[in-house]
Amino acid sequence: MSQMLIPNTVTEACQMLSSGNRVACAGATNLYVDREKGKYLDRDIVSLHRLKELSGIREEKDGWHIGSLTTFDLIEDVFRGQGSMDALAEAASLVGGPQIRNRGTIGGNILSASPAADTVPVLMALDAVLVLVSETGQRMVSINGFMKGPGRTAIHQGEILTEIVIPFKTGAARFRKVGKRNALAISIINVAVYMEKEAGRITALTIAIGSAGPTALRAFHTEELLRTWKRPDSEEKWQSLHEEIAIALSEDISPIDDIRATGSYRKTVADNLVLQLVRELWEACEK
Ligand SMILES: Cc1cc2nc3c(=O)[nH]c(=O)nc-3n(C[C@H](O)[C@H](O)[C@H](O)COP(=O)(O)OP(=O)(O)OC[C@H]3O[C@@H](n4cnc5c(N)ncnc54)[C@H](O)[C@@H]3O)c2cc1C
């Protein structure tokens, strides 16, 4: 029978996780469901809830530091209207229902490694860096490359995610999600776009898409395509751009059929959302 272990410090948590068959637990919104499905039943649970230093958001010289135990509610409260961080507030506001947003954490969202996790594309588009701590020290890794497959990340045994660092950005970002309904829906496709531009040309652009492959991913071909474009000045040119985005995205994503949607529907939605967000950002930046 599995036990619940409750560390009082990060060091103690790492020690507990480095030995035995154990799993970390933050808000338990995913872990509980996993256990209902029979996963982790043989593992002791290391609950991180006493580690108050892992909750909350700070502004430091190198950017925003978000504790891994920070809830979606707090993320929405702090980042709403805060430049490019508003995209993270938007993603947080669209996770589950009020109970999940009150309890679920950003760290749990990343470590669950669902291809549909809503905050992950935004973190990818904003070049977030993850701080991972173990008994032997600390390492910082980019979120781009950290997700390895459904339910799999590059975290090592005995490590915990302590915080997420997002560098300050001068551009703007947007997040959009399409699910089966407007609320309480897992994403069929979610997209985050970050853009900086000057004199009608894009100077920096990142696009990240969720639910379109085994992990959320960057759309590098589409980013490359858009960097060669000047802002379209007619509906015909926007239409041509739409067609080119559809071609470039075919190189970037390969969504599958599942109970929520077909792969071809997902691809069409992704084409439309990327165009929509890029257009909104391009036009917003023009003003
Ligand atoms: C009804 C319902 C609706 C949902 N809707 C959405 C949705 O719309 N969008 C969405 O993205 N998700 C959704 N989820 C999934 C889930 O709520 C989120 O992924 C949430 O962020 C998980 O966070 P948690 O703190 O509860 O993680 P937990 O369940 O506690 O942990 C999840 C995993 O992360 C690991 N982990 C957690 N924190 C750490 C850490 N600091 N260091 C190392 N490992 C850690 C745990 O070991 C576990 O493997 C939904 C879940 C439910 C039950």
CA 218, CA 192: separation in Å to the nearest integer?
9
Domains 58-166 and 172-286 share a fold: no
Q: Which residues have C-beta atoms less than 6 Å from ligand 1?
A: 23-31, 33, 48, 68, 95-96, 100, 104-105, 107-109, 111-112, 117-118, 160-161, 186
When the pLDDT of each residue in the chain is averaged and rounded to a whole number, the result is 94
Measure 241 CA to ligand 1 centroid, in angstroms. 37
pLDDT tens digits for range 173-208: 999 999 876 666 788 999 999 999 988 789 999 999
Measure 264 CA to ligand 1 centroid, in angstroms. 28
pLDDT tens digits for range 24-36: 999 999 999 999 9
pLDDT tens digits for range 204-216: 999 999 999 999 9
3-class DSSP state of 214? coil
The per-residue b/e assignment along 217-252, b for 16 or more CB within 10 angstroms, e otherwise, is bbbebbbebbeebebbeeeeeeeebbebbbebbeeb
Q: Where residue 287 falls among pLDDT bands split at 50, 70, 90? A: very low
- Spell out the residues 6+ positions from residue 259 whose beta carbon is closer than 8 angstroms to its own: none
Measure 286 CA to ligand 1 centroid, in angstroms. 38
Domain ranges of the chain: 4-46, 58-166, 172-286
Nearest CA-CA partner of 72 in 43, 44, 40, 104: 104
CATH 3.40.1830.10 fits 172-286, yes or no: no
Q: Order the strands of the 4-5 sheet from edge to edge.
A: 4-5, 44-47, 22-25
Measure 94 CA to ligand 1 centroid, in angstroms. 14
CATH, domain 58-166, list 3.30.465.10, 3.40.50.10800, 3.30.420.40, 3.60.21.10: 3.30.465.10
CA 176, CA 180: separation in Å to the nearest integer?
14
Residue 286 pLDDT more than 60? no
pLDDT tens digits for range 214-272: 999 999 999 999 999 989 999 999 999 999 999 999 999 989 888 888 989 999 999 99
Looking at ligand 1, which atom is closest to the CA of residue 160? 42
Residue 19 pLDDT more than 90? no
